[in-house]
Structure 1
Amino acid sequence: MMTQPLSILTVPAFDDNYLWLAHNGQHAIVIDPGDAEAIVQALAQHNLQLSTILLTHHHPDHIGGVPALVEKFKVPVYGPSNDGITGIDHALNDGDVVSIAELDMQLEVIAVPGHTLGHIAYYVAKQAWLFCGDTLFAGGCGRLFEGTPAQMLNSLDRLAALPDDTAVYCAHEYTLSNLRFAQEVEPANQALASRIQSEQAKREQNTPTIPSQIGLEKQTNPFLRIREAAVQARLVAAGKIFADQDDASNFAALREWKNTYR
């Protein structure tokens, strides 16, 4: 069978999760398979053979399907070395490279603590793909369940430093909710206003808003724009920070505001 250029299948799961299958028309890898049955069905529908499982962090909606997939397909599991996940065959740390021979694919591991302490992301330079779990979302970022604001800010800074055309494959359809909050923070951001219209149109057609792109996130995501004067001024005006606080404190205030925003 002739292989095809690498592409990605979007596999919806649960209420708002996206599971990702990267494949060449024959072999596939899966990132964060929280739901085994959804992956089994997608593989069968597209006549794909699963070769590898990759994990970003330990939350059940990201790893719940792993035991059943391993039992069925007997494939290796790659994941973070220090995030409390059992059953990993290849423990990964910052700067490691995962080579998938069947796909001629290399994924660079980026440590992104914050959402969890051991969270990692995978960057595929050749295809300009980023699989970032629950660290960076379209228009937002993950909650800080384990890490500190300084850790999460540093993690987001690392992802924001990737090329602007990098496709952001995050794990949840939170985009419209995130962008409503973003507009509360930056009501005069015209790029954000345009994005909201575009993303709303997608959701009205039941089309995923993911992937996003790093460049778009830098223009419209308040968590990547915490150093912008307009964002800081809004935080001061809303009584969330005092003027001239450090970046990590400002980020913490922004994240806390989002936690309680409705």
Structure 2
Amino acid sequence: MIMLSISPISAFSDNYIWCVARDGEAIIVDPGDATPVLNHLDKNGLTLSAIIITHHHYDHVNGIELLCERFPNIPVYGPENQCESINQRLKHGDKITLLDHTFSVFAVPGHTLDHIAYYIDSATSAPALFCGDTLFAGGCGRLFEGTPEQMLRSLGLIQALPANTAVYCAHEYTLNNLRFALAVEPDNSELRERMANTADLREKNLPTVPSILALELLTNPFMRTDNLAVQQQVAAHAELKYWNQNDIFAELRAWKDDF
């Protein structure tokens, strides 16, 4: 099996559109803007064979129409939502085969109710997860439609994946996310090291993603709400006397929203 090549395409101020390529063909993940995608395809001699969508927000779907004009009759995979350009609707547990690789579909509501993620477990490389705006490097998506309980369950699905899974999120939010994470866990040595490495990458204008799931489990507070130190810090901030994990996640997300 030929190994996949996965490349970021920068869009807007901080979006990453992902290009998954193999042997001259490409899949585009969440094309919010067609222009940088077309430039990337032309520059690299790639033919677009499919589009996959994680959720309906404009910065993930607005480029579909123009891409389909350039490459007519390609499948556009995505969740059940109001985006009419999606012609192949997917739900939790579905599997699709693209570029001779199997993509497994997970429902991960929270950021939006329709949000799905795509997981590749490849024999030729580390597993990969395209998670849109659910899990970020060092953080998670805002709850525009879903509940804290839904997002906590969604992140739990991701936590159960292999630790070496490469996490391809859709935004360059890492530096700000880690600043917040340090407010939650100032004594986390792995987090301090990650912050230094991230700052170095951004000074060089380099992407901080993909991340690795193992690193998220060590440094991302939204993946650590079962950790006693995180719970105690959040409870102190929110003045909670009694709590469960859902309470901690809800207060953590609210804290981040105001940070």
TM-score, scaled relative to structure 1: 0.95
**Structure-2 residue corresponding to 1:95:** 93
The alignment status of 1:106 with 2:102, answered yes or no, reads yes
Q: What RMSD, in angstroms, separates the aligned Cα atoms of the two structures?
A: 1.1
Inter-partner Cα distance in structure 1 for 2:27 and 2:66? 15
The alignment status of 1:124 with 2:123, answered yes or no, reads no
> Deviation digits for residues 176-220 of structure 1, max 9, x if unmatched?
000000000000100000000111111111110000011000000
For structure 1, which segment, 178-187 or 21-30, has the greater mean C-alpha deviation from structure 2 after superposition?
A: 21-30
> Which runs of no fewer than 5 residues in structure 1 stay unpaired?
none
Q: In structure 2, the residue corresponding to 1:20 is in which secondary structure?
A: strand
> Deviation digits for residues 110-131 of structure 1, max 9, x if unmatched?
0000000010000001140100
Inter-partner Cα distance in structure 2 for 1:161 and 1:5? 24
Q: In structure 1, the residue corresponding to 2:162 is in which secondary structure?
A: coil
Which residue identity does 1:251 align to in structure 2?
F
Map 1:13-92 onto structure 2 (within 5 A).
13-74=11-72, 75-81=74-80, 83-92=81-90
**Structure-2 residue corresponding to 1:144:** 143
> Deviation digits for residues 95-146 of structure 1, max 9, x if unmatched?
100111xx11110000000000010000001140100000000000000000
* 1:237 Cα deviation after fit: 2.1
Inter-partner Cα distance in structure 2 for 1:5 and 1:226? 35
> Deviation digits for residues 150-196 of structure 1, max 9, x if unmatched?
00000001011111100000000000000000000000100000000
Q: In structure 2, the residue corresponding to 1:223 is in which secondary structure?
A: helix
Inter-partner Cα distance in structure 2 for 1:252 and 1:166? 26
Inter-partner Cα distance in structure 2 for 1:40 and 1:99? 23
Inter-partner Cα distance in structure 1 for 2:250 and 2:62? 30
Q: In structure 1, the residue corresponding to 2:113 is in which secondary structure?
A: coil
* 1:249 Cα deviation after fit: 1.5
> Which runs of no fewer than 5 residues in structure 2 stay unpaired?
none
Which residue identity does 2:139 align to in structure 1?
G
* 1:32 Cα deviation after fit: 0.1
**In 1, are the aligned partners of 2:54 and 2:117 still within 8 Å (CA)?**
yes
**Structure-2 residue corresponding to 1:253:** 251
The alignment status of 1:182 with 2:178, answered yes or no, reads no
Count how many residue pairs are aligned between Structure 1 and Structure 2.
Answer: 255
Inter-partner Cα distance in structure 2 for 1:168 and 1:15? 20
Inter-partner Cα distance in structure 1 for 2:184 and 2:151? 19
Q: In structure 1, the residue corresponding to 2:26 is in which secondary structure?
A: strand
Q: 1:4 to 1:46 in 2, by over 3 A?
A: farther
**In 1, are the aligned partners of 2:128 and 2:165 still within 8 Å (CA)?**
yes
* 1:243 Cα deviation after fit: 3.4
Which residue identity does 1:23 align to in structure 2?
A
**Structure-1 residue corresponding to 2:220:** 221
The alignment status of 1:203 with 2:199, answered yes or no, reads no
**In 2, are the aligned partners of 1:241 and 1:253 still within 8 Å (CA)?**
no
Inter-partner Cα distance in structure 2 for 1:243 and 1:209? 37
**In 2, are the aligned partners of 1:70 and 1:76 still within 8 Å (CA)?**
no
**In 1, are the aligned partners of 2:235 and 2:248 still within 8 Å (CA)?**
no
Inter-partner Cα distance in structure 1 for 2:195 and 2:84? 40
* 1:241 Cα deviation after fit: 4.5
Inter-partner Cα distance in structure 2 for 1:189 and 1:84? 42
Q: In structure 1, the residue corresponding to 2:243 is in which secondary structure?
A: coil
* 1:4 Cα deviation after fit: 5.3
Inter-partner Cα distance in structure 1 for 2:195 and 2:100? 37
TM-score, scaled relative to structure 2: 0.96
**Structure-2 residue corresponding to 1:7:** 5
